């Protein structure tokens, strides 16, 4: 491997690692069975897409869904159950997203009115206050869900429906993205793209056309508060990468 090939490999590896950092999520299963079957393929698609997922089961999810079932269906080696959790920060300190494939009505209402008396509601409260993106499947907490209606729960008074809908509206007002379970993968990718775009809103952009990106170029970009766009063939020196990381300059491929 010559020097140019080595540098190209370093660039590709750094980009891969940067992308993988953005693909970290805490996946929280509550005890809702409605929508579970539809959500599982969505979570598996994220895994196949290279996401690093930490899987958590609430006490009710451990009972209703069981850890072994979730392991088998997601084809993962480990899931965390609520009884094993010693603290919140180790669960979510290194993730960028909360994904909730099954959100029960009970948890949804508690979150809406600010009650954080369970692990799940406490986690989500922290996520809301810390600006973590949260995507949740609404199947199990939507009283108008067709599965629920077909189970005979189709005689709900209008006043009760209205109150429950208002709670879901509050969740969305808090920034939680509520979607159908079958759209969970698509919604997550859209949220990633939206968040990534928002990170650079207001920043200038610089198109870099030289063959080699150096430390000096990084410093100039920092002074201009700019995001650097480079060609796929551009060689980025290791010193340039280190400097960009240290001073917070984004290097993106065109």
- The rounded percent of the chain whose pLDDT value lies above 70 is 86
Mean pLDDT of the chain, nearest integer: 88
Of 84, 90, 122, 121, nearest to 104 by C-alpha is 121
Q: Can you tell me the distance from the alpha carbon of 136 to that of 187, in angstroms, rounded to the nearest whole number?
A: 9
Over residues 49-96, the pLDDT tens digits come to 999 999 999 999 999 999 999 999 999 999 999 999 999 999 999 999
- Domain boundaries in the chain? 17-197, 201-253
Token digits for 219?
């410093």
Mean pLDDT of 197-213: 69
pTM for this predicted structure: 0.73
Mean pLDDT of 137-160: 96
197 or 217, which is more confident: 217
Strands 133-137, 177-179: pairing kind: parallel
Q: Which residues, in sequence order, are bridge partners of residue 25?
A: 53, 97
Topology classification of domain 17-197: Rossmann fold (3.40.50)
201 or 103, which is more confident: 103
Q: What are phi and psi of 53, to 5 degrees?
A: -110, 135
* Residue 9: per-residue pLDDT: 61
Q: Can you tell me the distance from the alpha carbon of 33 to that of 65, in angstroms, rounded to the nearest whole number?
A: 7
Over residues 221-247, the pLDDT tens digits come to 887 888 888 887 888 888 888 888 888
The three-state secondary structure class of 4 is helix
* Residue 237: per-residue pLDDT: 86
Q: What are phi and psi of 225, to 5 degrees?
A: 50, 50
DSSP state of 29: E
Distance of CA 177 to the CA centre of its chain: 11
**Which are the contacts of 158, defined by CB distance < 8 A and separation ≥ 6?**
none
């Amino acid at each position: 491997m010559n020097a140019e090939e080595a540098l190209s490999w370093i660039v590709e590896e750094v980009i891969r690692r940067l992308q993988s950092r953005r693909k970290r999520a805490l996946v929280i299963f509550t005890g809702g069975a409605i929508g579970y079957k539809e959500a599982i393929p969505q979570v598996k698609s994220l895994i196949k897409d290279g996401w690093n997922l930490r899987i958590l089961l609430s006490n009710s999810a451990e009972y209703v869904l069981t850890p072994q079932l979730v392991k088998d269906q997601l084809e993962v080696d480990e899931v965390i159950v609520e009884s094993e959790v010693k603290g919140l920060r180790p669960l979510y300190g290194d993730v960028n997203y909360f994904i909730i494939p099954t959100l029960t009505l009970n948890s949804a209402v508690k979150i809406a009115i600010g009650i954080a008396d369970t692990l799940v509601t406490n986690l989500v409260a922290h996520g809301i206050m810390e600006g973590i993106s949260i995507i949740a499947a609404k199947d199990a907490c939507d009283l108008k869900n067709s599965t629920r209606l077909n189970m005979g729960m189709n005689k709900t008074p209008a006043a009760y429906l209205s109150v429950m809908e208002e709670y879901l509206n509050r969740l969305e007002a808090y920034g939680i993205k509520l979607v159908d379970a079958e759209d969970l993968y698509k919604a997550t990718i859209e949220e990633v793209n939206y968040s990534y775009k928002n990170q650079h809103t207001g920043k200038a952009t610089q198109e870099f056309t030289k063959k080699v990106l150096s430390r000096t170029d990084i410093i100039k970009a920092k002074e201009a508060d700019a995001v650097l766009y480079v060609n796929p063939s551009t060689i980025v020196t290791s010193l340039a990468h280190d400097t960009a990381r240290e001073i917070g300059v984004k290097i993106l491929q065109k």
